Chains A and B, each alone.
Chain A
Amino acid sequence: MKDQNAYEEFIKGVWRDNPVFVQVLGMCPMLAVTNSAINAIVMGAATLFVLVGSSFLVASFKNLIPKQVRISLYVIIIATFVTVADYTLLALLPKVHKELGAFIPLIVANCMILGRQEAFASRHSIRFAVLDALGMSSGFMLALLALGSVREILGSGSLFNVPLFGADFEPWVIMILPPGGFLTLGLLLLFFNWVTARRAAFLEQVAAAEREGL
């Protein structure tokens, strides 16, 4: 029973409560840095590091954090992890860091992260808080990757810098520019909602059939 709950806390962020497709949070990095799959992965990894670290700390000290200053404390904790991620990337992956630019420091302002601290980590056990953070950031990374892959395939004709088409591929320039981000995100949201609606309709049909069967 307990494992069932743990699995549920993890998987909800990946699909049912996906931070991008369902909650529509974290749009700024979502649109800004997803012009290639590799950028999307690095951004997703940095966010995962920050979210999991912050959730762990907040859940650990939830009884010591005074209620009146909790938001300030969350921001201090998040900002610390973001700075660590920023310098680490700058040292290890200077090329990718240059492309992500200002959007690494801006992870501080990703409302998904502060939202998880306030809504979940501060009122659950460490184990569930970390699972929830893992699930949410995996869902975020999946969404970034979906967007980044579509935009890189169409905009540069490659995936993870591996060329997919021949030499005379005609790149869809708009896809690596900001309008391409908005277009792709809009179409992915449309697709996600369509799938959800179809699934709901199907479950409804099954339920109706069962009622008739009884």
Chain B
Amino acid sequence: MSAPGSSMAVQEPGGARLVLALALAGLLSGLIIIAIFEATLPTITANKAAELRAAVFKVLPGVSRLQPLRYEGGRLIAAPGRATDDQTIYGGYDREQHFIGYAIPAAGPGFQDTIQLLYGYLPGERTIVGMQILDSRETPGLGDKIYKDAAFVANFDRLAVDPTVVAMKKGHKSAPNEIDAITGATISSKAVVRIINEARERWEGRLPPPGSEPALTEVEGSEGKE
């Protein structure tokens, strides 16, 4: 730093060699990384698709085919094979390709970190039929009951969404739009409810009227194999 001239003098003889060495290493490294990326990409994509399919089938009982739907230009269109983002939900169809319901991914702050979940929604009946936590870091033994406690998860089978979903103290569930919160993990329970209510509000106006959902575009024939 203090004497750039002198350090230049020391380095100058090897300058080209230094650049060459770094460039060569960078090139080799890049090649190796591209190779491993290409080699593992099919498996990674397949894993992710399988994971998503399993989750969708769990929250939408009776579904045998699914396709991504994307909200674009003011309406919901079928978007098979496209990259998914936060404008994407999934449509579930039965074997005869009749529309059954939506699987809607949603995320929001939990007690510790963001909770990501997926819920199945029947627009005709305005009812939630299943909820699956995709990713969360809630407190082990307390907050993690939002996916470990079968009784809590069962709350989301046939849950009315009107006017909003409400978390009640355990044992006080009385209306179809109420769930029993987990004792000792009120914050995590309420977080799940809030995430679902926010997602519902967000998608409320975007979903087409029941009966006119996008049809299944026959592209991925293997999609339905369970």
Contact = CB atoms under 8 A, between A and B. Distances in A.
The reply, when asked whether chain A contacts chain B directly with Cβ atoms under 8 A, is yes
Given A77-B29, A173-B139, A64 B21 contact: yes
B21 A83 contact: no
Interface string B73-116: 00000000000000000000000000000000000000000000
A98 B136 CA distance: 11
Contacts of B163: none
Contact of A68 (B18, B33, B39, B48): B18
B44 A90 contact: yes
A83 B36 contact: yes
Contacts of A72: 22
A171 B44 CA distance: 34
Contact of B142 (A68, A83, A94, A173): A173
Interface residues of A, number: 26
Interface in A61-75: 64-66, 68-69, 72-73
Contact of B26 (A76, A83, A90, A98): A76
A156 B141 CA distance: 9
Nearest to B11: A68
A84 interface: yes
Contacts of A91: 40, 43-44, 47
Contact of B25 (A76, A98, A155): A76
Interface string B28-63: 110011001101100110011001000000000000
A12 B31 CA distance: 36
Contacts of B47: 91, 94
Contacts of A171: 140-141
The interface residues of chain A, by DSSP majority, are classed as helix
A60 interface: no
Contacts of B36: 83-84, 87-88
A80 B37 contact: no
A88 B38 CA distance: 11
Contacts of A69: 18, 21-22
Contacts of A98: 135
Contacts of A156: 140
A177 interface: yes
Contact of A155 (B28, B32, B140): B140
20 contacts: A65-B21, A66-B17, A66-B21, A68-B11, A72-B22, A73-B25, A76-B25, A76-B26, A80-B32, A83-B36, A87-B36, A87-B44, A88-B40, A90-B40, A90-B44, A91-B40, A94-B44, A171-B141, A173-B141, A177-B139
Given A80-B33, A177-B139, 20 more contacts: A66-B18, A66-B21, A68-B14, A73-B22, A76-B22, A76-B29, A79-B29, A87-B36, A87-B39, A87-B40, A90-B44, A91-B43, A92-B43, A94-B44, A94-B51, A98-B135, A155-B140, A156-B140, A173-B142, A177-B140
Interface of B: 11, 14, 17-18, 21-22, 25-26, 28-29, 32-33, 36-37, 39-40, 43-44, 47-48, 51, 135, 139-142
Question: Closest 6 CB pairs between A and B?
Answer: A91-B40, A91-B43, A80-B29, A87-B40, A173-B141, A76-B25
